[in-house]
A and B are shown apart, each in its own frame.
Chain A
């Protein structure tokens, strides 16, 4: 075992640092459009240097670098240290671009990748529907060909779309072959959201979070998209949506976030003067046992990725582990904040004006931790995945006819 990255990586780190020191940060008085332009130029220079969009071909605005998880990690660390922006986030870079690179037509790549990389196109995910959650392949939003066969006409509803109010485009699963077995009747479509047939509405969450930055639901009423914007074959959309994301995904970033949150929990115990309580100390150390297990396992996954080895079933466990630790932290936080729990935190859950916030701010985490049990594969689905793919247990009868 050796947790250093090696000499080559440290030499690379020096290069990244030198680049950052000459390109970041912007002048302190830069604001508004000027600041945006500066960040755009910075990202372009960082891409030119080979630090961003490493999996994206140059012709589409990427830097087209060979896969190297150690270099990718060094870049993340140094950009974080300099507080410099990395790639534009969101579904576009996480989902649309990898899917198009693997399954898209040349025309689709030309049309969408550069705009996404440069942040002009923001993508909403059109997967979940009110009647289709864990059973995603049951989607009912309907796609029908126009009379001349040039367009898909879309009718139905999608829900739980992050960044929905900002999204310019959506990638979505629609049922195009109502008579086919359910996984074989779905087509993967890209759609421009700025058209009369699309209506969107923010969803008010249990945290109180509402407004333009929250999840949305979308209504499609004879919305249209060109047939040339269909990704993959008609009826094969389910399989297109399974496109795996494998480029330099291994990182120890999520573990750092969890570690920071745990450190804040310790700070909370100090702030409310409970850190000397043996019960609290024991509970904190109990939780930390899981936090460290998560952290060191992320080292293990990263190390396996760097060596090109399969880490085995443990990689299927990370999401559920993170969720479960979040619940434990929420329960302890609730004990620690005591009567501060009577107070609704300023800017609850959201990014609004927060003002001064006391220990009641933990209500954000206390409620937000519940979202992790649902989003991105509900916890009971995660347990199925661990049991079936990880431990090799037979599929549940209700689902055994499915793929």
Chain B
């Protein structure tokens, strides 16, 4: 029986955290958010230098749980770059038996995830490869330029800007048909990784709110001393911390190929994306005026919460799936 993180897993998270603290500090986020790029090469290379790209290679000795732990820290740091797409493109390419995976696993070739049926794709202008995962149509790997049309839009999530993307009929290479179990596995894995990003972000804004409540004084007291705010912060923590185990379980169930893995992925995505939205709203409220400013930066996570909620299907869509999967 083991259902908490190992020292190695904690060390991986610390490594990712430290790398992003160095390569993606708030000053870099501010500059990036006001620029036009949809990708930041320096912080991406720093992450890839840790070997994150290869986590889902079959012989890595790691699995979706480890990938989720990395995505959690990326969410916490509001990292730019299509980490989820990269991780899954490597997994998809490896599962299809492709030989030359080096450029993908090293992160030299940038891969982004396209949710089947959605026109909006994060980091599309920087992507070399599009991994299209569609439960109804299968999994395709489409190289940039191979029948791909990209239209820039003003994106609300400033750290993972989306573009509008269209693919020509039959573009790229079909890796798995819709009926192939790997298609559903990849779609489920994407949900778990998105839930992990949401978990990291929700924890981050909770931590920011608690730290601010200890430091900010009104009526001659740190505001965190007042029960009204203390209880709001306690509720944020109560919303976020127990949900962590939901992400762990969904990732574990996927790795162990348990029968309830698809449903666990749907539940984790639905629950955590709701948690993230609640947490970021509560964080702005808990901060007061400073939280409403652009400079303070809370809005980057707020916007990521909007993104995570809408990406890959809304919470209500996945709850409806979960209800069906339970044969209610």
Are the C-beta atoms of B248 and A296 separated by less than 8 Å? yes
B49 touches A (CB below 8 Å): no
B4 touches A (CB below 8 Å): yes
Are the C-beta atoms of B245 and A3 separated by less than 8 Å? no
A309 nearest CB neighbor, chain B only: B4
Known contacts A300-B4, A317-B237, A393-B224: A293-B245 contact under CB 8 Å: yes
**A262-285 contact mask (Cβ, 8 Å, vs B): 1 or 0:** 000010011000010010011011
- Give the chain A neighbours of B245 by CB distance below 8 A: 293, 296-297, 299-300
A294 touches B (CB below 8 Å): yes
B316 touches A (CB below 8 Å): yes
Count chain B residues whose beta carbon lies closer than 8 angstroms to a beta carbon of A: 45
Q: State which of B26-34, B71-79, B149-157, B318-326 sits at the interface with chain A.
A: B318-326
Are the C-beta atoms of B1 and A302 separated by less than 8 Å? yes
List residues 80-112 of chain A with CB under 8 A from any CB of chain B.
none
A131 touches B (CB below 8 Å): no
**A287-304 contact mask (Cβ, 8 Å, vs B): 1 or 0:** 011101110110110111
Are the C-beta atoms of A396 and B249 separated by less than 8 Å? no
A382 nearest CB neighbor, chain B only: B234
Main secondary structure of the interface of A (DSSP, over half): helix
Are the C-beta atoms of B230 and A388 separated by less than 8 Å? yes
Are the C-beta atoms of B222 and A300 separated by less than 8 Å? no
Are the C-beta atoms of A383 and B214 separated by less than 8 Å? no
Are the C-beta atoms of A314 and B231 separated by less than 8 Å? no
Main secondary structure of the interface of B (DSSP, over half): helix
Are the C-beta atoms of A313 and B225 separated by less than 8 Å? no
Known contacts A2-B2, A281-B323, A396-B225: A390-B234 contact under CB 8 Å: yes
**Interface size class, chain A:** 35 or more
**B225-251 contact mask (Cβ, 8 Å, vs A): 1 or 0:** 111001101110110011111101101
- Give the chain B neighbours of A174 by CB distance below 8 A: none
A318 nearest CB neighbor, chain B only: B242
- Give the chain B neighbours of A290 by CB distance below 8 A: 242, 271
Known contacts A324-B238, A384-B227, A387-B234: A393-B210 contact under CB 8 Å: yes
- A393–B213 alpha-carbon span in the complex (Å): 8
A395 touches B (CB below 8 Å): yes
Are the C-beta atoms of B2 and A303 separated by less than 8 Å? yes
Residue from the set B4, B231, B319 with the largest chain A CB neighbour count within 10 Å: B4
Are the C-beta atoms of B1 and A397 separated by less than 8 Å? no
Are the C-beta atoms of A394 and B225 separated by less than 8 Å? yes
Are the C-beta atoms of B230 and A387 separated by less than 8 Å? yes
- Give the chain B neighbours of A5 by CB distance below 8 A: 1
B270 touches A (CB below 8 Å): yes
B191 touches A (CB below 8 Å): no
- Give the chain A neighbours of B319 by CB distance below 8 A: 281-282, 285-286, 289
**B54-76 contact mask (Cβ, 8 Å, vs A): 1 or 0:** 00000000000100000000000
Choice from B65, B244, B267 contacting A289 with Cβ under 8 Å: B267
Are the C-beta atoms of B230 and A384 separated by less than 8 Å? yes
Minimum CB–CB distance for B198 against chain A, Å: 12
Choice from A292, A306, A311, A321 contacting B246 with Cβ under 8 Å: A292
B315 nearest CB neighbor, chain A only: A286
Minimum CB–CB distance for A6 against chain B, Å: 7
Are the C-beta atoms of A383 and B4 separated by less than 8 Å? no
A298 nearest CB neighbor, chain B only: B245
B294 touches A (CB below 8 Å): no
Are the C-beta atoms of A300 and B267 separated by less than 8 Å? no
Are the C-beta atoms of A380 and B231 separated by less than 8 Å? yes
Are the C-beta atoms of A321 and B224 separated by less than 8 Å? no
- A214–B311 alpha-carbon span in the complex (Å): 52
- A306–B1 alpha-carbon span in the complex (Å): 8
Residue from the set B3, B256, B270, B323 with the largest chain A CB neighbour count within 10 Å: B3
- A162–B114 alpha-carbon span in the complex (Å): 58
A172 touches B (CB below 8 Å): no
- A302–B1 alpha-carbon span in the complex (Å): 9
A-B contact sample (18 more), CB < 8 A, given A289-B243, A393-B213, A396-B226: A1-B2, A2-B2, A4-B1, A282-B320, A282-B323, A285-B323, A286-B319, A289-B267, A296-B246, A296-B249, A299-B249, A303-B2, A314-B241, A318-B242, A384-B227, A391-B224, A392-B214, A393-B230
| A→B interface (CB under 8 Å) | 1-6, 9, 70, 266, 269-270, 275, 278, 281-282, 284-286, 288-290, 292-294, 296-297, 299-300, 302-304, 306-307, 309, 311, 313-314, 317-318, 320-321, 324, 380, 382-384, 386-388, 390-397, 400
